[in-house]
Amino acid sequence: MKRIKLVLLCLLAGVGLQAQGDLMSSLRSRPYPQWFSDAKLGIFVHYGLYSVPSYSGKEQYAEWFYKGLISGDSLRINFQKEVFGEDFRYEDYKHIFKAELFDADAWAELFKRSGAKYVVFTSKHHDGYCMYDSRYAKGWSSATTAPQRDFCKELTDAVRKRDMKMCMYYSLTEWTNPLYRWTVDTLKSIDEYVEKHLHPQFKEMVDMFSPSLVFSDGDWDFDYKTFKSDELVSYYFDKVGEEAIVNDRWGGGFDYGYVTPEYSEAIKQTERPWAECRGLSRSFGLNRNADLESYLTSEELIRHFVRLVAAGGGLTINVGPAADGSIPLLQQERLSDLGQWLEINGEAIYGCTTFTKSEESYDVLLPRADKQIDFDWVRNAPLKAMPADNFSIHWHTEIVPEKTEKVKFYLKADDNAGFQIKDEKSEVVFRLAADKEQVASEVKLKKNHKYTFELVYQEKTHEASVQLLWESASIERQPVSSSSWYWIGEMGWKQSYVCFTVNNDNLYATALEPLSERLVFGLDKAPSEDMKVCLLGKKPIYLDWNYNPDTKRMTIDTSKLRPCDVESKGAWVFRLEGYMQNK
For residue 327, how many other CB atoms are within 10 A of its CB? 22
Whether 410 and 477 have beta carbons less than 8 Å apart is answered as yes
The CA–CA distances, whole Å, from 571 to 111, 497, 536 equal 21, 10, 11
Give the DSSP H or E segment for 302.
Answer: helix 298-310
Peptide bond between residue 363 and the one before it cis (omega within 30 degrees of 0): no
Give the DSSP H or E segment for 95.
Answer: helix 93-96
Cα–Cα distance for residue pair 64/71, rounded to 1 Å: 11
3-state SS class at 375: strand
Q: ∠ CA 396-398-399 to the nearest 5 degrees?
A: 135
Taking only the tens of pLDDT, the chain with its 583 residues reads 545 554 444 444 444 544 556 899 999 999 999 999 999 999 999 999 999 999 999 999 999 999 999 999 999 999 999 999 999 999 999 999 999 999 999 999 999 999 999 999 999 999 999 999 999 999 999 999 999 999 999 999 999 999 999 999 999 999 999 999 998 898 899 999 999 999 999 999 999 999 999 999 999 999 999 999 999 999 999 999 999 999 999 999 999 999 999 998 767 667 899 999 999 999 999 999 999 999 999 999 999 999 999 999 999 999 999 999 999 999 999 999 999 999 999 999 999 999 999 999 999 999 999 999 999 999 889 998 888 889 999 999 999 999 999 999 999 999 999 999 999 999 999 999 998 889 999 999 999 999 999 999 999 988 899 999 999 999 999 999 988 899 999 999 999 999 999 999 999 999 999 999 999 999 999 999 999 999 999 999 999 999 999 999 999 999 999 988 899 999 999 999 999 997 6
Residue 430: strand pairing partners:
421
Cα–Cα distance for residue pair 443/453, rounded to 1 Å: 13
For residue 405, how many other CB atoms are within 10 A of its CB? 15
Residue 245: strand pairing partners:
213
Cα–Cα distance for residue pair 246/244, rounded to 1 Å: 7
For residue 117, how many other CB atoms are within 10 A of its CB? 20
Cα–Cα distance for residue pair 517/503, rounded to 1 Å: 27
Output the pLDDT for position 20. Answer: 59
Please name the residues in contact with 546: beta carbons below 8 A apart, sequence gap of 6 or more: 554, 555, 557
Chain CA centroid to CA 238, Å:
29
Cα–Cα distance for residue pair 291/289, rounded to 1 Å: 7
Cα–Cα distance for residue pair 582/192, rounded to 1 Å: 60
SS (H, E, C) 127-193: CCCECCCCCCCCCCECCCCCCCCCHHHHHHHHHHHCCCEEEEEEECCCCCECCECCCCCCCCCCHHH
Q: ∠ CA 192-193-195 to the nearest 5 degrees?
A: 65
**Which phi and psi angles does 149 have, rounded to 5°?**
-140, 150
Output the pLDDT for position 377. Answer: 93
Say if strands 478-479 and 464-471 run parallel, antiparallel, or are unpaired. antiparallel
Output the pLDDT for position 8. Answer: 45
Compute the Cα dihedral for 481, 482, 483, 484 and give only its sign. Answer: negative
3-state SS class at 430: strand
Give the DSSP H or E segment for 330.
Answer: helix 329-345
Say if strands 213-217 and 245-246 run parallel, antiparallel, or are unpaired. parallel
Look up residue 38 and give its amino acid.
Answer: D
Cα–Cα distance for residue pair 177/267, rounded to 1 Å: 35
Burial of 74 (0-12, 13-18, 19+ CB in 10 A): exposed
Nearest one of 17, 325, 291, 345 to 149, comparing CA atoms = 325
Residues present in the chain in total: 583
Residue 548: strand pairing partners:
553
The CA–CA distances, whole Å, from 42 to 219, 318, 350, 378 equal 22, 9, 12, 25
Cα–Cα distance for residue pair 298/295, rounded to 1 Å: 9
Output the pLDDT for position 7. Answer: 44
With DSSP H G I counted as helix, E B as strand and the rest as coil, what are the percentages for the chain, rounded to 5? 30, 30, 40
Output the pLDDT for position 6. Answer: 47
Please name the residues in contact with 329: beta carbons below 8 A apart, sequence gap of 6 or more: none
Whether 265 and 359 have beta carbons less than 8 Å apart is answered as no
**Predicted TM-score of the model (pTM):** 0.92
For residue 388, how many other CB atoms are within 10 A of its CB? 22
Look up residue 180 and give its amino acid.
Answer: Y
The CA–CA distances, whole Å, from 225 to 181, 183, 191, 221 equal 19, 20, 11, 12
Output the pLDDT for position 21. Answer: 65
